[in-house]
Structure 1
Amino acid sequence: MKKLTILSLAAFLLLSCEAQKFPDNPKLVVMIAVDMFPAEILQRIEPHLKGGLKWLLNHGIHYENAHQEHANTVTGTGHFSIGSGRYPGPSGVLGNSWYVRSLGKSVNCVEDSIAKPVGGKGNARSYRQIESNTVSDWAKSKHPDSKVYTVAAKDRAAILLGGENANLAIYYNYNGTFITSDYYMEELPGWLDDFNQSLNINAYRDSVWNHSRTMELYHELATVDSFYGEVDEFNDDVYSPILPKSLNSVALEKTGDYLVSMPWFDRIVMKIAESAIINEELGKDEIVDFLGIGFSTADWIGHNHGPNSHEVLDYFFRFDAYLMNFIKTLDDLVGLEDIVFVLSSDHGAIPLPEYLSSNGIESERLDHDSFNSRIKRIIEQLGDDIIYSGNGFYFPRHFTNDQKEDALQLIKKEMIGLNALGYIFSREEILLMKGINPFNRRLKHMIHPQMSPDVILVLREYFTSRSPLGTTHGTPYNYDTHVPLIFSHINIKPARISRPVATVDIAPTIGSLLNVSIPEDVDGNSLQEISP
């Protein structure tokens, strides 16, 4: 009898240990990227979460020191790193867009000159110009029948999460329709066309965005509402300048555009994701499928109001609730035993300079008039074939090394006295940097030896290019790079990991978990807590 008890206890302990492992054969991987989600926000609101974010934390491994390890922290580079496991600069993804010398113009990171839009008016976008593939592509190499569907408001979010061989990347045209391009298919699937037909964006004009929690919570966790420095896109609205807000006073033809900046737009995105699961039968067989979801609304709200605002705080409380309903729906449709979740963000954000200044931190906005006049003087002295684009100068190909050095010194001289500007580097200086500190490392990870500008400008810490109001991102500093990273499964007990990790670790971790071949040029590492 005693022996049976010991054996039973041993079996129980074994089952308990096994229950802590992530499944190596999930039917569905759900990759969630929340646009502009500083890790600081999650830390601030965590004690007050009640829904999906809390569920992910309670059933997941939370990497509290995760960073986007590159300097130009924007949507394109961030989603690329999450999906591909590679640093964006050496891979040729320099930003949301970048100047191409051979074309004499800037191109979007998901631009496709030969594709056509499908499903409605809008931009035809695809993964065609990007050479590095994603974790879902690695899985498809092993399992050709693996299905990959992505959806987001932003085209680059959906496309960069889906990779080269996605079945369908769905994005919004800012006029009431979710579209794709013929890179993926010649016409929308019937279920998505039906969804578009039923999407009555004008029905949202009377929806009122109000505080969803007690005012005491906003007083505790946020600034005063309408803190100076915020920009209100609803200036003509009867509900402005503070919550509550609605789209009721927005011009009718602009409803589709402004709708993206309201928190319930995320519910629309979730409904499309649910429809994809149902109609494309994601997670219904033993071959792993991928669902990538980009929640872009947080970025619009964050740019306008800053991370310490009532609006951003309320957005995340609402997102928490929406996400819980979505997770419950996935349980009904697939079963949580068969789903692995990963949540992260493409970038963080700098708080409003006015907020930082009120807390004793030196912070200013870039003086664009002074900056632009200096750019003009530099070009007048160096010649019209000097191009300034994307925080950098591009020199003509015929410039000798001596000419490049003279131009660099002239640029430095002209920029003296511009308070917001912190550093001016040549491309070669950055390439030779040792990655011994985060600043150097992140700069280097943003540089391509041929495609990047010849001279790169970097703002001072706590200074921003956003002017005259609102806030932004795009620097190598921690407020822009520090993002949440959570891997979750229903059988996992909560754990927190404090060691530094990077978003480039996400793709190889999933790849290792699925036991697929990971390309040698991938920069990230498999996280041992997820896939030992």
Structure 2
Amino acid sequence: MNIVKSILLSVALLPLVVQAQNPKKQALTSNNLTSSPARPKLVVGLVVDQMRWDYLYRYANRYGAGGFNRMLREGFSCENNQITYIPTVTAAGHTGIYTGSVPSIHGIAGNDWTIQATGKSMYCTDDPTVKTVGSTSTAGLMSPKNLLATTITDELRLATNFKSKVIGIALKDRGGILPAGHSANAAYWYDDLTGNWITSTYYMDVLPNWVNNFNSQKIAEKYIKQDWNTLYPINTYTQSTADDNLYEGKLRGETAPVFPHLTSKMLNGNFSAIRNTPYGNSITLDFAKDAIKNEQLGKDDITDFLAVSLSSTDYIGHQYAINSIEVEDAYLRLDKDIEEFLKTLDATVGKGQYTVFLSSDHGAAHNPKFLADNKIPAQLWDGRTILNNLNTELEKEFKQPKLVLGFGNYQVNFNNPLIASSKLNLLEIKQFTINFLNKQEGVTFVVDMENISSASLPDAIKSKIIAGYNKDRSGAIQILLKPGWFQGYSATGTTHGSWNPYDTHIPLVFMGWGIKQGTLNRPTSMADIAPTIAALLHIQEPNGNVGETIEEVLKK
């Protein structure tokens, strides 16, 4: 009996003996029960508005060591990162990055869209129920209420029981609001009337003291008064077309689109001129640095998130087009600004203690006349004239005027209330419209969204159309133009919005805590950014996510 008791006692004590012999295993077991997952102190998203992927390399020999080149050298670049929906525009792009989703799900179907049930136009962040904070202008009547899904920033707030701080910053309201999500501590954007950073009562009733202090320095006015000349001698800008050409638009008050751009003469009680200069990106990062300092971002063990959008590259691209000295100069200056911003993160949060990613909301096409002059097929599509002609023909056939409201987002938005009240046959109107559009020069495909499964077009394009179609906010017919063509009314500048690679191929570079060094050439998508950050942080991906974790990016 004593032998049996002795054996049983030995068996019972065996785990304790093993733990005593292996104290590391004991400690590991204990830590697994009590400690939180390792996370960076701060995540920073840098979205460069209208940055084509090739800008990482087009001016690389002129970039310094500490900006774009540092991110490529120390970080991980996904070289074949694509947008998988249309329309490729600012609001949808920022939302796609932070939701891991597409317009059909997250609901941001464009910068503006037509509400199909009423025929009324809706701006993506418009919210008349809130008030401007920080200005007497109406620029603050904005919120994320039209966003239907959560963002990765929302999910971080949820995962930490709202202890994480989340702040969005951009010149454009939509660039600050949509990435910050529904539950952000703050989103700030730029007010042309005052040159100040403002917000809305969705977030707060009064601006923090540090924001008031920043605004009181009148930094926007100081930048505008500097005028804009090239950073380096103008003859060194060999990647660009000569300064004075037919492809570039003039700023207000200019006689020619050439350097120097005398922004100091464009104040006149309005501070919007900064948007069309590299200084718009500079002041955005100045403000972001102040936010890091004064909000104490990354100063404790709870991960914070700063979402920054750099909008001026989009304004400059629209104004001057891809091959301009202005675009080249904007990226050379942005490279220096990013270098200083990364140095600030190193000094305040700590090198290796933060994670940063850089991407874009969309790319842009070359100016069609520039392409045509260089024997590459391209042309403007005069949607305004074609719309008028279409409505004229529809009225002859169906005896009602203005049955089509517009071609916004390359979609046909029908006047559904009029069609319903007049008891017209929508199917007949759609077929008439499709037949008419198929005869127009420059049109490659015209797709009825209700019958897209039977449409004769490549699967890759079909999937982008489906992903971008929201039944309540998108037009009933999708128009696809020939490569190099886009809808426009000016021979200068450029735009975006199509399925083509010049609009959909965007940069994606991760750097910092938890990130490997390297490159990847297999296809990835904009939607993969949010789930990759979710995996890095060990939190739930956004609730409308359709992307996948890019496993190659993350350290094991």
Q: Same fold (TM over 0.5)?
A: yes
Tell me the alpha carbon deviations over residues 166-213 of structure 1, each in whole angstroms, 9 at most, x when there is no partner: 100000122212111111111111110111121254333431322223
Match of 2:11?
Answer: none
- 2:551 is the counterpart of 1:528: yes
Tell me the alpha carbon deviations over residues 96-137 of structure 1, each in whole angstroms, 9 at most, x when there is no partner: 011113444111111112111111122311112212010011
Change (3 A) 1:209 1:393: same
Contact 1:24–1:513, Cα closer than 8 Å, also in 2:
no
Q: Measure the CA separation in 1 of the matches of 2:527 and 2:302.
A: 24
- 2:55 is the counterpart of 1:37: no
Map 1:78-93 → 2, pairs under 5 A: 78-93=93-108
Match of 1:418?
Answer: 440
Residue 253 of structure 1 aligns with an amino acid whose one-letter code is: G
Map 1:33-432 → 2, pairs under 5 A: 33-50=47-64, 51-120=66-135, 121=137, 122-143=139-160, 144-175=162-193, 176-219=195-238, 221-236=239-254, 240-250=256-266, 252-254=268-270, 256-368=271-383, 370-380=385-395, 381-382=397-398, 383-384=400-401, 386-389=403-406, 390=408, 391-394=411-414, 396=416, 403-415=425-437, 417-430=439-452
Contact 1:96–1:109, Cα closer than 8 Å, also in 2:
yes
Question: How far off is 1:327 after superposition?
Answer: 0.9
Residue 276 of structure 2 aligns with an amino acid whose one-letter code is: S
Tell me the alpha carbon deviations over residues 247-286 of structure 1, each in whole angstroms, 9 at most, x when there is no partner: 13325123x1111111112121111111111111100111
Question: How far off is 1:459 after superposition?
Answer: 2.2
Contact 1:393–1:456, Cα closer than 8 Å, also in 2:
no
- 2:28 is the counterpart of 1:26: no
Contact 1:93–1:109, Cα closer than 8 Å, also in 2:
yes
Q: Measure the CA separation in 2 of the matches of 1:65 and 1:157.
A: 24
Q: Report the 3-state secondary structure (helix = DSSP H, G, I; strand = E; otherwise coil) of the residue aligned with 2:450.
A: helix
Q: Report the 3-state secondary structure (helix = DSSP H, G, I; strand = E; otherwise coil) of the residue aligned with 2:51.
A: coil
Change (3 A) 1:452 1:360: same
Q: Which moved more, 1:301-310 or 1:417-426?
A: 417-426
Match of 1:509?
Answer: 532
Residue 507 of structure 1 aligns with an amino acid whose one-letter code is: A
Question: How far off is 1:499 after superposition?
Answer: 0.8
Question: How far off is 1:518 after superposition?
Answer: 2.1
Question: How far off is 1:378 after superposition?
Answer: 4.4
Q: Which moved more, 1:68-77 or 1:200-209?
A: 200-209
Q: Report the 3-state secondary structure (helix = DSSP H, G, I; strand = E; otherwise coil) of the residue aligned with 1:303.
A: helix
**Residue 487 of structure 1 is aligned with which of 510, 513, 532?**
510
Q: Measure the CA separation in 1 of the matches of 2:382 and 2:474.
A: 25
Match of 2:479?
Answer: 457
Change (3 A) 1:495 1:358: farther
Q: Report the 3-state secondary structure (helix = DSSP H, G, I; strand = E; otherwise coil) of the residue aligned with 1:248.
A: helix
Q: Percent identity?
A: 30
Q: Measure the CA separation in 2 of the matches of 1:152 and 1:261.
A: 14
Q: Which moved more, 1:186-195 or 1:371-380?
A: 371-380
Q: Measure the CA separation in 1 of the matches of 2:526 and 2:221.
A: 38
Q: Which moved more, 1:458-467 or 1:483-492?
A: 483-492
Change (3 A) 1:431 1:186: farther
Q: Measure the CA separation in 1 of the matches of 2:219 and 2:509.
A: 34
Residue 412 of structure 2 aligns with an amino acid whose one-letter code is: G
Change (3 A) 1:514 1:393: same
Tell me the alpha carbon deviations over residues 435-494 of structure 1, each in whole angstroms, 9 at most, x when there is no partner: 964322211111123432222222222102122221100011111011110001178664
Question: How far off is 1:330 after superposition?
Answer: 1.4
Question: How far off is 1:414 after superposition?
Answer: 3.0
Q: Measure the CA separation in 1 of the matches of 2:339 and 2:86.
A: 33
Q: Report the 3-state secondary structure (helix = DSSP H, G, I; strand = E; otherwise coil) of the residue aligned with 1:32.
A: strand
Q: Report the 3-state secondary structure (helix = DSSP H, G, I; strand = E; otherwise coil) of the residue aligned with 1:365.
A: strand
Tell me the alpha carbon deviations over residues 213-236 of structure 1, each in whole angstroms, 9 at most, x when there is no partner: 3445422x1122233221111553
TM-score (norm 2): 0.86
Residue 394 of structure 1 aligns with an amino acid whose one-letter code is: F
Contact 1:90–1:449, Cα closer than 8 Å, also in 2:
no
Q: Measure the CA separation in 1 of the matches of 2:128 and 2:252.
A: 35
- Give the alignment's Cα RMSD to 1 decimal: 2.4
Q: Measure the CA separation in 1 of the matches of 2:173 and 2:206.
A: 17
Match of 2:3?
Answer: none
**Tell me, which stretches of 5 or more residues in structure 1 are unaligned?**
1-22
Q: Measure the CA separation in 1 of the matches of 2:82 and 2:424.
A: 38
Residue 85 of structure 2 aligns with an amino acid whose one-letter code is: H
Q: Report the 3-state secondary structure (helix = DSSP H, G, I; strand = E; otherwise coil) of the residue aligned with 2:328.
A: helix
Q: Measure the CA separation in 2 of the matches of 1:418 and 1:320.
A: 43
Q: Measure the CA separation in 1 of the matches of 2:141 and 2:384.
A: 35
Tell me the alpha carbon deviations over residues 3-42 of structure 1, each in whole angstroms, 9 at most, x when there is no partner: xxxxxxxxxxxxxxxxxxxx95100000000100011222
Tell me the alpha carbon deviations over residues 470-523 of structure 1, each in whole angstroms, 9 at most, x when there is no partner: 110001111101111000117866422111111110011001110002256411
Q: Report the 3-state secondary structure (helix = DSSP H, G, I; strand = E; otherwise coil) of the residue aligned with 1:294.
A: strand
Map 1:432-451 → 2, pairs under 5 A: 437-451=459-473
Q: Measure the CA separation in 2 of the matches of 1:257 and 1:226.
A: 24
Contact 1:67–1:501, Cα closer than 8 Å, also in 2:
yes
Q: Report the 3-state secondary structure (helix = DSSP H, G, I; strand = E; otherwise coil) of the residue aligned with 1:42.
A: helix
Q: Report the 3-state secondary structure (helix = DSSP H, G, I; strand = E; otherwise coil) of the residue aligned with 1:314.
A: helix
Match of 1:496?
Answer: 519
Residue 405 of structure 1 aligns with an amino acid whose one-letter code is: L
Match of 2:12?
Answer: none
**Tell me, which stretches of 5 or more residues in structure 2 are unaligned?**
1-36
Q: Measure the CA separation in 2 of the matches of 1:499 and 1:198.
A: 47
Contact 2:447–2:477, Cα closer than 8 Å, also in 1:
yes
